Amino acid sequence: MSDILNIAREAAKAALDKKARDVVILKMDDVTIITDYFVICTATNRTQAQAIADNIEDVMKENGMKILHREGLKEAAWILLDYGSVVVHIFQEDMRRFYDLETLWGDAAAVQVKSELG
C-alpha cells in the first residue's frame, strides 16, 4: 500500500470521526494526472461539513500534508480540500447527488474504506 493511499485513508478516517456518510476513496492516477486519490463524503448540514473539513485539515497537518487550496468552507455545500496527491470533497447531500463525482469519474477504481475506519 502506498504512502499516498495511507494519507487518503487517514483523510477518510478523519471524515468518519465526524460522522460523515458514504465515504468513498477513488484511485484517480489511472484516469487523470490531476491527483492520485479523491476522498468523497457527505455531510448532513453546513455545520457538520465544516467540522469534517476542520478535522481533516488537522489530521492532514499531523501527517505532514500541506494544503494547496481550499474552497467552499463558508457556504459548505461543497468543500474542496486540495493536498495535491489527495483531493477531498465534502458535500451536502443535494450537491453530492447533483455533481455525482463517482459517475463522472466512473473509470476510477474505488478503494475499499475499511470497516475499522468507521
Tell me the domains of the chain and their CATH numbers: 3-113 (3.30.460.10)
Stated pTM of the model: 0.92
Amino acid code (one letter) for 54: D
Structure confidence by residue, pLDDT tens digits, 29-78? 999 999 999 999 999 999 999 999 999 999 999 989 999 999 999 999 99
Per-residue pLDDT of 101-114, as tens digits, reads 999 999 999 998 86
pLDDT value at residue 112: 83
| Band of residue 1 on the pLDDT scale cut at 50, 70, 90 | very low
